[in-house]
């Protein structure tokens, strides 16, 4: 699995801690981790609005399989990511949230709170959330006797979102303020991850047009 970690300006100085915990879980499982957001407060400036754009481009181009995002409360990042087609983002404050999202919703992104409740022992909680998010089978339901309706409803929700967002994916990107999109795709590490791994030539051409 290819996993992208992206953090915005208000919590950028916690990136090293979060990245360390993500690597400690993901790398032994042979997952690839790409730190595509801000690495500290002096890095390329991003807000949670930019994170949604970045996540949608990486996921829709299949450059990555999963996105870990967040902000102070995690709520803004969750709403920003879920505003885009092809992104199913869960809200995660503790390990049980990650486990249940994995089993019931089987989405492709998480939004964590990197300020609210992020105190003593926070790195342990983050590591435990990543363990529940990236180990074991996905989409098996919980409890197991509820698997069938949960899988059905998760699929139906994806169908509803796809029906509501009828526009072509590129059209949806072009409908956004292009300065927002340009800022979102201008980070060096984001570009490295995207251009080396994307599988959508149309999206690649669009991104190149923004940064050329």
Global confidence as pTM? 0.95
- Name the residue among 133, 138, 136 with its Cα closest to residue 21: 133
- Tell me the per-residue pLDDT of 178-199, one tens digit each, with 9 for 90 and over: 999 999 999 999 999 999 999 9
Rounded-to-integer distance, Cα 142 and Cα 30, Å: 26
Q: What is the pLDDT of residues 97-143, one digit of tens each?
A: 999 999 999 999 999 999 999 999 999 999 999 999 999 888 888 88
Q: What is the mean pLDDT of residues 67-76?
A: 97
What ranges make up the beta strands (E) of 27-73?
32-35, 66-71
The pLDDT, as a whole number, for residue 137 is 84
Q: Is the pLDDT of residue 151 over 90?
A: no
156 against 74, higher pLDDT: 74
CATH code assigned at 8? 3.40.1400.10
Domain holding 109, by residue range, is 2-211
Q: Which residues pair with 154 in a beta bridge?
A: none
* Whole-number average pLDDT of the chain: 95
Distance, C-alpha 90 to centroid of its chain: 9
20 token code pair: 């360390």
Q: Tell me what percent of the residues of the chain surpass a pLDDT of 70.
A: 100
How many domains does the chain contain in total? Answer: 1
Is 159 or 29 the better-scoring residue by pLDDT?
29
pLDDT of the residue at 2: 98
Q: What are phi and psi of 21, to 5 degrees?
A: -70, -40
- Show the CA angle centred on residue 44, arms to residues 126 and 183, nearest 5°: 110
Q: What are phi and psi of 113, to 5 degrees?
A: -90, 115
């Amino acid at each position: 699995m290819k996993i992208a970690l992206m953090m915005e300006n208000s919590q950028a100085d916690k990136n090293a801690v979060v990245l360390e915990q993500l690597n400690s879980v993901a790398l032994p499982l042979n997952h690839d981790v790409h730190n595509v957001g801000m690495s500290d407060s002096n890095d390329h400036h991003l807000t949670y609005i930019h994170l949604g754009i970045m996540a949608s481009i990486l996921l829709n181009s299949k450059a990555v399989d999963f996105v870990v995002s967040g902000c102070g409360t995690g709520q803004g990042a969750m709403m920003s990511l879920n505003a885009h087609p092809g992104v199913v983002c869960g809200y995660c404050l503790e390990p049980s949230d990650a486990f249940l999202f994995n089993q019931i919703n089987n989405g492709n992104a998480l939004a964590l709170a990197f300020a609210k409740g992020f105190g003593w022992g926070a790195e342990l909680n983050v590591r435990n959330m990543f363990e529940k998010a990236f180990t074991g089978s996905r989409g098996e339901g919980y409890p197991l006797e509820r698997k069938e309706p949960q899988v059905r409803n998760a699929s139906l929700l994806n169908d509803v979102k796809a029906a509501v967002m009828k526009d072509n994916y590129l059209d949806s990107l072009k409908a956004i303020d292009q300065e927002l999109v340009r800022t979102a795709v201008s980070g060096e590490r984001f570009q490295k991850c995207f251009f080396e791994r994307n599988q959508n030539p149309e999206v690649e051409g669009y991104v190149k047009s923004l940064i050329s």
